Amino acid sequence: MLDNRLSEEHEALRSSVETFARKDVAPVIGDYYEREEFPYPLVQTMGRMGLFGLPVAEEDGGMGGDYFTLCLALEELARVDSSVSITLEAGVSLGLMPIYRFGTAEQKKKWLPGLASGEVLGAFGLTEPGCGSDAGGTRTTAVLDGDEWVLNGSKAFITNSGTDITGFVTVTAVTGTKPDGGKEISTIVVPSGTPGFTVAPKYSKVGWNASDTHELSFDDCRVPAENLLGERGRGYAQFLSILDEGRIAIAALSVGLAQGCVDECLRYAQERESFGRKIGEYQAIQFKIADMETRAHTARLAYYDAAASMQRGERFKRQAAIAKLVASNAAMDNARDATQIFGGYGFMNETPVGRFYRDAKILEIGEGTSEVQRMLIARELGLEAG
């Protein structure tokens, strides 16, 4: 019999993050968002709470938890703000997990303690200008010259890549040609400050304005040969496995945003009066909020299911894609409905609902667009592209 109730340990973690989000994040994040400034004090606090090390074994400097625990933390943070939540999500699933899953003993010893404590952020450089969802279209190259890799190329939309505490970017690059004539893609760790590695000025974004995102370029950038992460030629496969996990995390973040919209609308509906009555007394508002709660609840069940399959060691690609698709749709729909309920106030950046609306759209794009999720689900069902 299925039981979706949280264990005592999971509930304790969820509750502590909820308290942090409401007491520490909510009062200040609007100012960070308006200034488009990275919230270093909040990230430091999350590091002290052990959130960056949640799915990492204690012997590697982590909390000894599981990936589902991370998802619970992401959901609670996103109920208040998505910039802080995506900083944690990318820091763990895209920064830390590649090292944790595929790193050598030396690489783990060098990077994991700082990553798990939040003192160092890692980033993952996959997307390139002009490639988008076509990750296999990687053009960045890495040529082995003696005992060094020489990288040339560029990456776009890379989260956590230009902060003061960014330690490295793991980069996908073409390192040769496979026997079938296809690209041999590998992943290589490029430390921040390496000559030839340039971080462009931060993007001007529609949402996630308190998170860090940059374009990166590599011009004869040299790193030691031992910076190869995992097996040569397996970079693309490694990335796909990391993305499957990351989609569950993004689904959790999306559920948080969707639930945050419900939270704000419930409060507002009980305070705002129109035509002599609380707007929450009007059936039109009640039904809209009921639909919002239904979306959030359904999406939560989807990511719980995907996480459970992952924890059991089962194949979870289909469940992860479903969770990401359903949850990102719920976030976007709830943000739109919440803005409508708030009316003009929902269009103001200083309100959480205004930020939710701006933050929601990227959830249907990042870590695999909704179209990519549908493609993956169809393939998992045995349907081949024509």
Query: Which positions are annotated as active-site residues?
Result: 367
Taking a C-beta distance cutoff of 8 angstroms, is the pair 335, 362 a contact?
A: no
Helix (H, G, I), strand (E, B), or coil: what is residue 221? strand
Q: Tell me the one-letter amino acid at 250.
A: I
Within 13 Å of residue 204, how many CA atoms lie on the same side as its CB?
0
| DSSP strand pairing (183-191 vs 148-159) | unpaired
The percent helix, strand, coil of the chain (3-state, each to 5) is: 55, 15, 25
Cβ atoms of 363 and 207 closer than 8 Å: no
Strands 141-145 and 148-159 turn out to be: antiparallel
Question: 119: which residues sit within 8 A by CB, 6+ positions away?
Answer: 47, 165
Angle (CA) 351 354 360, round 5°:
135
Instruction: Note the helical H segments in the chain.
Output: 8-20, 26-35, 40-48, 67-78, 82-89, 97-102, 105-117, 235-271, 283-311, 317-342, 352-360, 370-380
